[in-house]
Amino acid sequence: MSTEKPKLPAPAGPYSHFRRAGHLVFVSGQLPVKWDGELATEIGAATAQTLENVRNVLRASGLDLQHVVKVTVLLADIKDFAAMNEVYARYFGAQPPARSCFQVAALPKGARLEIEAMADDGTAP
């Protein structure tokens, strides 16, 4: 894991990219938007970009994907579930975190998915 913490862009609204609560880090829902504003629209690329955004937010908090204990995936179309899963599995490997996945009526910016995460920094007794 890189020790360099990425500089995050300003949030798009009245929220924080992440918040700590004791040993837990809560990552706000991330969209498949590059920091320059470009939106990934193909579900595989959108999943990868969204998970890279989650990873960057976690790195800014001093953690990484291996610290994730729970993920929530919001899909604009549940038919994208299998394609999302294929990319998702590459990020979390053999011992993935707990997860919920829902289809929603719409997402900001017309995104195909949004992912939020909860991570544990490992300091709890």
Q: What domain count does the chain have?
A: 1
3 belongs to a structural domain: no
36 belongs to a structural domain: yes
**Largest Cα–Cα distance in the chain?**
42
* Confidence class for position 11, pLDDT limits 50, 70, 90: confident
The tens digit of pLDDT for each residue in 29-85 reads 999 998 788 999 999 999 999 999 999 999 999 999 999 999 999 999 999 999 999
10 belongs to a structural domain: no
Q: In terms of residue numbers, what domain contains 33?
A: 18-120
Buried residues in 91-112 as b, exposed as e (16+ CB within 10 A): beeeeebeeebeeeeebeeebb
85 belongs to a structural domain: yes
9 belongs to a structural domain: no
Which CATH number goes with the domain that contains 34?
A: 3.30.1330.40
Of residues 1 and 118, more confidence is placed in 118
Q: What is the pLDDT of residue 8?
A: 76
